[in-house]
Amino acid sequence: MSVARFSTQAPSWMGTRAENVGIKAMDIYFPSQYVSQHDLERHYGVSEGKYTIGLGQEAMAVCDPAEDINSACLTAVSNLMEKYNIPWSAIGRLEVGTESLVDKSKAVKTTLMDLFAQHGNTDIEGIDSKNACYGGTAAVFNSAAWIESSAWDGRYAIAVAGDIAVYEEGPARPTGGAGVIAMLIGPDAPLAMERVRATHMENVWDFYKPTMDSEYPRVDGHLSNECYLRSVDVCYNSYADKFQQWQDKAFTLEDQDYAIFHAPYNKLVQKSFGRFFLQDFLRKGDSIESLDKYRGIPLAETYNDRHLQKALSSYTKPIYNEKVQPSELITKQCGNSYCGSLYAGLLSLIANKADTLQDKRIMMFSYGSGLAASLFSLKVRDDVTFIRDTANVKERLEARTCISPEAFERSLQTREDQYTKYDFKPEAQVDSMFKGTYYLNQIDGLERRYYSRSMHTMSAPLAASLASTSTVAPVRRAVFPRVAATAGAARASSMLRGFARVRSLLK
C-alpha cells in the first residue's frame, strides 16, 4: 500500500512564499442510512426510471432528525484530524461553506472551535461563507489565499464544505441528500490548485431560502437549470481564454483529463459536460453536421433544445465515461450535499482512480444559485492513494443501511416539526449511527445547542483493540508535521488551562 511522504519538519515560512497550494488530505461524512431511488419511484407512484434514469440517481442519504449542520461538520472535521493524525496545533485557519444555517448570527465555525479549544488552540482565522452551493468553493479559495498571503504563519488551513439538503413534498424531494467534506489545505499539496480560474456571477432568483422558520427552499427548477448551463458556458470560455494566455496555446478537451461538476442530480452533470463539448467545438471551428447549424444561434436559445442535448449526449458518451463518470460515486449514492457536492465528486474520483491520477489535470466546476459559479483546475502532483485508503469511501458506502420510503418520510416530518423547537432533547437513534458521529442532544430554553458523540472509534485503546481483531488490513496514515505554536496560541493555551483549573476547583 502506497504511503504519502510528508516532511517531519515544521514549515519554514518567514520570508518565503508557499507554492503548489492545494488539498493535502480530505475526508467525508455521510449518514449511515439512505433511501433507494427505486423505492421512492414506487412509493410516489411515478413512472419507473423517473429518478434513477431521469435524474440519474441511485440513492439518497438520510440524516437522523437529531443531526444538524453543526453536528455533521463536527464529525467531518474530527474524522479528518484523527484519521490523518494531524496535530490540533497545526491548524491556523478554518472556514466553513454551507447554506444549512441553524442560526442567523452564530457561525458553524464557532461550534467547531470546541474541538480545537480543548487542545489549547484558539488562534484560528476564518469564518463561514454562504451563497447556496458555492460556499464550499469560497472556503477553499479563501483558505488557499491565506496560505499564499503575507499573513500566513506556516500552519495548515481546513476548508469544510457541506449541507443537509431537504425539500418539501413535491417533485424536488428526491433531489435531496447530505454530506460534509473536510479538506486540509496547505503548500506542496498532491492536489495543487493551478493559477487559472474563471468566475461568473449574476443576480437571479432560481433558488433561495427567505423563510426563516423552515429548512425548505423556494426553487424555480427550470430557471436554475438554465442559469447553471449558462454559467458553464461563460466560465468555460473565460477559463479557455486565460489558459491560452498562460500556456500560449489553445485550451481544448484534450487538456483536461477529468471534469467534475457540482451535482444537484447526475443528469444535469451529463448536460453540463455536453456544454463543454459544444464550447470546444465552437472554439475550434471544426465541422460536425448536426452541430454546424448552432454556430450562429445565441447560446441563450440552446439551453432547452432537446435535439441539441441528444446530439451532445451521443457525441460525448465515450469521453464522458472516461473523464466524468469516475467522479459520480458519492453523488449518485448520497444525493446533493450542496456545498459539498463538487468535493464529493473529487473524493469519488480518488476512490476510483487514485492509482493512475498522478500528473493529471482535473477541471472543477462549482455553482451556487443566486448565482455564483467558478471553473478552476487541480494538478495531481503526487500520489493520492493514501487519501483513497484513509477515506475508505467505497467500504463505508456499502456499510450503510437502507430504510423504507415511509421511514424517510417520518424522518423528514420529525425534522420539520422540530426545526423551530427549543427547550427539549431530541430522540437520537444513536445505535443506528456510524461510530464517532456527533448529534444534537439538547436545545435549551435559551435556544443554545449542545452535542454528543456516539462511541468514538478513533481513541487509542479502542483502535489498538480493533487492529488486533480486524480482518481488514490497517491503513497506514499520512503523518503531518507538528507546527510550532505561535505566541498567541501559547498564551491562549495557558489561559484555557487556567480556566480548566478554575472549573475543577469550583466542582
Catalytic residues: 99, 133, 262
Q: Would you mind telling me the total number of residues written for the chain in this entry?
A: 507
Contact 362, 258 (CB under 8 A): yes
How many other C-beta atoms lie within 10 A of the C-beta of residue 482?
Answer: 15
Helices (H) and strands (E) counted in the chain, each on its own, are: 15, 16
How many other C-beta atoms lie within 10 A of the C-beta of residue 1?
Answer: 10
User: How far is residue 361's CA from residue 366's CA, in Å, rounded to a whole number?
Assistant: 16
How many other C-beta atoms lie within 10 A of the C-beta of residue 322?
Answer: 11
Phi, psi at residue 54, to the nearest 5°?
A: -60, -45
390 contacts: CB under 8 Å, gap ≥ 6:
25, 27, 83, 84, 475, 477, 478
Give per-residue burial for 378-390: e unless 16+ CB within 10 Å, then b. bbbbbbbbbbbbb
Phi, psi at residue 66, to the nearest 5°?
A: -85, 5
Q: For residue 15, is it left (φ>0), alpha (ψ between -120 and 50) or beta?
A: left
